Each structure stands twice: as structure tokens, then as C-alpha cells.
Amino acid sequence: MEYTSLGRTGLQVSRLCLGTMNFGPQTSEENSYTVMDKALDMGINFFDTANVYGWKKGEGVTEQIVGRWWAQGGSRREKVVLATKVYGQMGDWPNESKLSALHIKRAVEGSLKRLQTDYIDLYQMHHIDRSTPWEEIWQAMEQLVQEGKVIYVGSSNFAGWHIARANEAAKQRHFMGLVSEQSLYNLAERSVELEVLPASLEYGLGVIPWSPLAGGILGGALQKVSEGRRMADHVQERIEKLRPQLEKYEAFCKDLGEQPADVALAWLIHQPAITAPIIGPRTMDQLTGSVRALEIKFSDEQLEKLDEIWPGPGGAAPEAYAW
């Protein structure tokens, strides 16, 4: 396994991050334990979850599964850099969502209890909260850091200007601010190259791409369709919409001698500011196969070909659309 610093911090994390969103709804608790144990065996030390995962309001199903896994001992907790999130709806009353100081306090206490741990390594804001001032958010986060309940703070689904505003506000308070941003980023969705990636590079944030396979589209979708595998209607519609690009992409991967999913992950790891794509395996084969991405290297010509198949926005703003 390869390791890198998370943004401008000294924290060392694996180049692949284990996503746990499937734990509970799609992967049984027993199989989730097996996946997490195998991830540790492979050297993956970066796990990502959220208080809303499990999709039963207020229950934190996935966090509970991870917590019961910690409880088995074997220094599991000590080996893992744990990332979870705050923002989502955890109840039906006011102040049970978003980023008010009150909700942040309640949310972190709930996550710590479910996860059966004393601290969270990376506490991520799951979405921008346009109604809460940064003075309030940072005061709440500073308190958690002082109490030792949170070590680092990150964001998710922030725009570039949100990152800039957040870290400028933190700088005024002599607080470290955001150290990471978790964004939607893959070959088929490259909008973050306009402003999120440049802002992250400028402020020293490590970028953690979610949905690196575009919901499975980049994981050999055409081959799976030809094999008769059933897919949701919205997935089939997207496959048909992107069929010309997917045909070229899967042919490119075949010529390269690599699996499409591995190529998609390898391409992300190659991009500037990227710390670790989030892999969300439902099966052991999906987990073990993903490490191949760390070994794939591209020539300049191959990268140009991928840009031709999956064109980005043209680089960073404003040059991408002006001069």
C-alpha cells in the first residue's frame, strides 16, 4: 500500500479510502466486518463514513456497524484514520441537521457513541450550510478540537469559493481550518477542475473523490450489460447516453490490458491534489481488485487519449472559458 499526507497535514493516509456507505443497506454486518478486516490486511488505514449512512433517520446504522467492529479489539481503532460527517437530518425537530453550533455538538456526541470511540480523526461537514455564519461553525469546531473529540476538520461538496471563505475565516481565528475536501470527481464528471481543485491546492486541502466509478458506469458497464446483468433504469439510461464514450473507454482499457474500474481509480490518483479516491466495495473481490490501480502508470499519450474520450472543462477557471 502507498501512503501520502492528507493535504498540508502530517497525517499519513492510504492512497485508497474505504467507503462504508454500503454497510448495512447492501452489505451485511458480518460481511462488513470481513471487508474492514481485509482492508487493514491490505494496508488501507483510511475509512470514511457518515452519521446518515444506513438511511434510517437518526439511527446512524453504518456508524454503529463500524463501532461494533472496533469493539472486537485487536487495535482496530488505533490502526484506522476515521472520517465521518455532520450535516444530515438526524431527527424531525429543528436543530437536528445542518451546521449550527448546537447541532454540531449533538451530532459529534452521537457519532462518538455509535462509533464506540473517544475521538474522530477527520470530522467533515457533509454540505455547505448557507444559513450559519463561519464564526459560529469555527467556534464549535475549535471547542471539539480543544476537547480532543476531533483532530482535523474537513468539508464535502463545497464550492471553491466556500473553501476560500472558510479557510480565510479560520485564519482570522488562528485556527487550522479545512484540511480536506470530499468531492464528486471521476473521468465522467470533472467540474471540480474549474475551481475546487485549484482552491484545494492553494489552501493545502487533500481532495477525497467520491463516486470514482461514476456509480459503476466506469467499471465496465457495457461488458456487464452484454453479460445480461440487470441494472437500475436510471443507470441503463445513463449508459445509453454515454455509450459512444464508454465504447471508446472500454476499448482503451482492453488495449491497456487493465480493468476499467482500475483505470478510473488510477487516473484519479494521478491528478493533482488527490489524496485518496473512496472505494465502496460491496464484495471482497471489488475490494482486493482495487489495489491494482496503485500499480497502473500512464504515458502522456495515454493521458491525452483519456482526455479525448472524457474531456474536462478545459483546466482551471478562468482560462477554461476565457483567457
Backbone angles phi, psi at 171, to 5 degrees: -60, -40
What 3-state DSSP class applies to 161? helix
**C-alpha separations of 26 from 39, 85, 255, 282, 321 in Å:** 18, 20, 33, 7, 41
Tell me the C-alpha distance between 202 and 316, whole Å.
Answer: 12
Cα separation, 95 vs 100, whole angstroms: 7
Catalytic residues: 53
Q: Which of 17, 44, 29 is nearest to 124 (CA)?
A: 17
> Could you tell me which of 89, 66, 86 has the C-alpha nearest to residue 19?
66
Cell of 16: 485508497
